[in-house]
Amino acid sequence: MSSTTRPVVFMDINIGETPAGRLKMELFSDIVPKTAENFRQLCTGEFRVNSRPQGYKNATFHRVYANPLFSWRVPKFMCQGGDFLKGDGTGSFSIYGDDFPDENFQEKHTGPGLLSMANSGPNTNGCQFFITTAACDFLDGKHVVFGKVIDGMLTLRKIENVATGPNNRPKLVVKITECGEM
């Protein structure tokens, strides 16, 4: 399917108070339609609870992970965010309820810039996601890949390079200041 028929969403990122740039992402709606739609609606804020938009605007990237298996070779392997409920990786929400099942594992974690669902085990997808900064095949079959960065890899590298403290939490706030659909 051509990229013109797949949804394209964006996130404007601040690191601290400084604008870092925009991530522009194509969603694989033809491969994982439910997962792509959940993410799209959380980017646009069109899903509402009690008339209040739910979504990623003002959410943070709460973890920038070092690769535990190959930390000497690949210093970081993902930037995780999207917990707009608690901001610490413990919140879960989806347009389908608290969480929803894995659709499939057709796409693999083959390199940087892939958008994938963060979860706490099988069939526990919600609002949290991560973007790969390196190939990480050890995540294949465990996390649903549902999109890719099509513009903004420099912005992703800026997030990746933020110093981290305990629990891989960035020492500067990495915030999604604006998001939506192109």
Known catalytic residues? 63, 77, 80, 119, 130, 139, 143
- AA identity, residue 152: G
Residue 33 has which token pair? 């339609």
Cα separation, 37 vs 159, in Å, equals: 25
- AA identity, residue 83: D
Residue 53 has which token pair? 């938009």
- AA identity, residue 139: L
Smallest CA-to-CA distance from 67 within 171, 164, 153 is with 164
Q: What angle do CA 89, 91, 80 make, to 5 degrees?
A: 35
Is residue 179 within 8 A of residue 56, CB to CB? The reply is yes
